[in-house]
Amino acid sequence: MSKQGKTAISPTREENYPEWYQQVVRAAELAENSDVRGCMVIKPWGYALWENIRTALDRFFKDTGHVNAYFPLFIPKSYLEKEAEHVEGFAKECAVVTHHRLEAGPNGGLVPAGELEEPLVVRPTSETIIGAAYAKWVQSYRDLPILINQWANVVRWEMRTRLFLRTTEFLWQEGHTVHETSEEAWDETVKMLQVYKQFAEEYMAMPVLTGEKTAGERFPGAVNTFCIEAMMQDCKALQAGTSHFLGQNFAKSSGISFQSRAGREELAWTTSWGVSTRLIGGMVMTHGDDDGMIMPPRLAPSHVVILPIIRKDSDQEKIMRYCNETAEMLRAQMYAGRPLEVAVDSRDVNAGEKGWQWIKKGIPLRIEIGPRDMENNAVYVARRDKGVKEKYGQSRAEFVSTVSSVLEEMQQGLFERACAFRAENTREIDSWDEFVEFFKEGRGGFAMSHWDGTAETEQKINDELSVTIRCIPFDYETTGAGSCIVSGRPSKGRVVFAKSY
């Protein structure tokens, strides 16, 4: 809450959650819309967050034996057509390049010219273009496995877009692997889902459920799709990452075959898995409050901002020296495997306004330094996870020596708060009436309920309540058998129902 008793973000989460989200993304200077339909500009503070996500995930990928490479942006139309379900899934919303030149038109303006023999699609995902390369690279079982990841931009022509959550162009990583056996490909699919879960929980401080998607929610062309699902503060689910077991479908359509150990020509088994800039939206909606963004310290673009409080010109030089010295002491500290990132904000801006800018950006720690703090060898500290007015003085030496443990405490605190929120809003529901009440009158959340396994039931629930099955948890049979909340037919265990992004 600001000094005026108002929140920095208006509307609040309670008043209008979707609008609150847009305002936080804007106020935190994470991103903004461009004039190009559905394409966003990721601003420096948002991009630095993405760079930290990328660095941390890349380390996980490399530690699990993957390497990076880069494949073409354009996919020939004929490639996309090779896999029937795949093209069905992506043809409806793709950017199509048809010409390779602009030239003066009849009315003076420029018009497309140099029509291509075959249209090219801007990659919505790269299974087919990467598959074409793999088909050349794989000859023998000795060439396997191939464990490659790509960091890239992709384009899906979405009709309704929202910053980070659903944009026409977005940034992501896509892993594409090839294996000798079904078992190996299966293990890879599950292993990478676990990597996503670990990253989401340990770095983003965002608890996720893991499980399998129902047939209707699978990636187009996949045999199985696994996902991580998080709960946002409006109790809706966000699919935050997916890992696909592709069986031999894409190996068949791309011609990825190899001579097996037994000397036979066999089709390979492939997987793909990805997360995107959508994760940033997930972090905003998991941790943000009515004063703006709250950055989980492990991924924060900066950990600490130092705000010099200068009341007299004659103090300026001394205070700035003390601030810069403090910054250097902090930069010598390590947190989560990297040196602390520290900003000194000496801009000539009103002190209150300046402080609020950093609150809205979600920096974990703000420290104010005025003449008296300097004289006492002290600093005045504010934590982003506490109330705006809860500031405390501390000796500089103590602040520096404890800063990394304070950050880690904040990181754990954010995770625990998010876990508690999810627990509060997760309910085992066994009757249709209660289910309807939960989603219609209540705030909703995760309903753990029995389902008869049919697409009809799934569709009926979606039609009536706009609620979908987010996943069938890996351990769902351990939750005990029961009967479907719609049909009453037998069910082996509970699945996760929720409204979703």
Q: For binding to a copy of itself (CB under 8 A), which residues are involved?
A: 32, 34-36, 39-44, 46-48, 50-51, 67-77, 79-81, 87, 91-103, 109-112, 114, 119-122, 129, 132-133, 142, 148, 152-153, 155, 157, 169, 171, 348
Interatomic CA distance for residues 242 and 195, integer angstroms: 11
What is the closest distance, in whole angstroms, from the C-beta atom of residue 209 to a copy of itself in the complex? Answer: 30
CA-based diameter of the chain, in Å? 84
DSSP for 449-463, written as a single string: EE--S-HHHHHHHHH
Nearer to a copy of itself, 300 or 382 (CB): 300
Interatomic CA distance for residues 224 and 213, integer angstroms: 7
Q: Between β-strands 482-483 and 490-491, what pairing exists: parallel, antiparallel or unpaired?
A: antiparallel
What is the closest distance, in whole angstroms, from the C-beta atom of residue 169 to a copy of itself in the complex? Answer: 5
Nearer to a copy of itself, 92 or 443 (CB): 92
Nearer to a copy of itself, 169 or 291 (CB): 169
Nearer to a copy of itself, 50 or 451 (CB): 50
What is the closest distance, in whole angstroms, from the C-beta atom of residue 177 to a copy of itself in the complex? Answer: 13
Q: Between β-strands 304-308 and 365-369, what pairing exists: parallel, antiparallel or unpaired?
A: parallel
Nearer to a copy of itself, 71 or 226 (CB): 71
Interatomic CA distance for residues 287 and 202, integer angstroms: 14
Alpha carbon separation from 417 to 17, 233, 288, 420 (Å, rounded): 19, 11, 12, 5
Nearer to a copy of itself, 137 or 392 (CB): 137
Nearer to a copy of itself, 44 or 488 (CB): 44
What is the closest distance, in whole angstroms, from the C-beta atom of residue 296 to a copy of itself in the complex? Answer: 20
Q: Cα angle vertex 323, ends 319, 327, to 5°? A: 170
Nearer to a copy of itself, 184 or 430 (CB): 184
Interatomic CA distance for residues 358 and 333, integer angstroms: 21
Element at 180 (helix H, strand E): none
Nearer to a copy of itself, 13 or 156 (CB): 156
What is the closest distance, in whole angstroms, from the C-beta atom of residue 263 to a copy of itself in the complex? Answer: 17
What is the closest distance, in whole angstroms, from the C-beta atom of residue 43 to a copy of itself in the complex? Answer: 6
- Report whether 39 contacts 167 (CB < 8 A): yes
Residue 361: partners with Cβ closer than 8 Å, 6 or more residues away: 28, 29, 45, 292, 293, 295
Burial of 25 (0-12, 13-18, 19+ CB in 10 A): buried
What is the closest distance, in whole angstroms, from the C-beta atom of residue 109 to a copy of itself in the complex? Answer: 7
What is the closest distance, in whole angstroms, from the C-beta atom of residue 307 to a copy of itself in the complex? Answer: 17
What is the closest distance, in whole angstroms, from the C-beta atom of residue 82 to a copy of itself in the complex? Answer: 12
What is the closest distance, in whole angstroms, from the C-beta atom of residue 300 to a copy of itself in the complex? Answer: 15
- Report whether 251 contacts 178 (CB < 8 A): yes
Q: What torsion do the CA atoms of 45, 49, 51, 54 make, to the nearest 10 degrees?
A: -160
Interatomic CA distance for residues 455 and 445, integer angstroms: 22
Residue 402: partners with Cβ closer than 8 Å, 6 or more residues away: none
Nearer to a copy of itself, 39 or 388 (CB): 39
- Report whether 495 contacts 469 (CB < 8 A): yes
